[in-house]
Amino acid sequence: MKVKPVIYSMKPKYPDKYSIDINELMYYKPHRWMNKPLVISALSATILLSSCANELGITGSSDTTALVTSKTSNTTTLETSGTSNAMSFNIPIFFHGKGTGVIGCEVVNAPLFLTEEEAFAVISEELKLAGIEAIKNDKASSEVEVPVTNAYYEPGKEENKIVTSPQDFTYDAYTKIGTKYINIEFVSNDDYKNWENKNQGVWSSVEYLNLKGAAEALAKENNSVAAFYDPFTYYNYMETNVEMENTYDDEKEAHNASLEFLRSQVKDFMEWLKAEGVI
């Protein structure tokens, strides 16, 4: 075999250290690490010794540390604490059901949305199986980063990304696990409408709904929030046989599918809590 020089080399598909988003990476850190001071110390030292330290705004400390994601700036910093009770959760979204779709104009298949009562029943039933109680909430929290939605947008464009705005907000429910509180919110069609930007400047007979995206924004920008979303299914009520994603033969079938999608979201949440050592 004769060795020949490589004239053209393929660029690796994995991200390099210059292109990776460190803040995004920190958002998915395993929270079970928080209960292991040795692991946190090693992680802190690694960050401090890397070129990422200045970018993240991290300073050293001899105390036990916890990685906390800021609500407003979406950056990751180190917060010192003597106990694990100060740990802040950033709970990911668990994807079951498309959670996006279009209504109005030429969309002939009927949309199926779950009610808040139906959703709470499913969520509380699944939590109860693990010995966790979902308690309905009637008190508003201040400075909650609430999604600002837009029904008249072109999907995929960066400028149409869901942003958040700080305001007083009442979560649907909450639960207490040990000494830790977790807020619970089901992002419904009504929520999406209530959060809608009132100054969109345009109007259309077609509305694009991104319930999943709203749930992602709510969970990512606020600590200790378990956000679930309406799976958003359709059913063929006019027997038009129009092919649309997430469409079922009749209303009952679509309704049952949405309930099962939501149930799967909650089950994955419970598995996540177990994997993180919370329960």
Distance CA 114, CA 211 (A): 12
Whose CA is closest to 240, among 125, 129, 109?
109
pLDDT tens digits along 160-173: 678 999 999 999 99
User: In degrees rounded to 5, what are phi and psi of residue 15?
Assistant: -75, 145
202-230 pLDDT, tens digit per residue, is 666 778 899 999 999 999 999 999 999 99
Stretch 3-32: mean pLDDT, rounded? Answer: 58
- On the question of pLDDT at 115 being above 60, the answer is yes
Give per-residue pLDDT as tens, 53-63. 444 444 444 33
> DSSP label at 238?
S
Q: Note the pLDDT tens digit of each residue in 141-152.
A: 999 999 999 877
* 138-148 core/surface letters (b: 16 or more CB in 10 A; e: else): eeeeeebbbbb
Q: Which of 93-107, 130-144, 263-277 has the lowest mean pLDDT?
A: 93-107
Contact 247, 111 (CB under 8 A): no
- Residue 103: predicted pLDDT: 84
Contacts of 183 (CB under 8 A, 6+ apart): 137, 141, 171, 173, 174, 222, 224, 225, 226
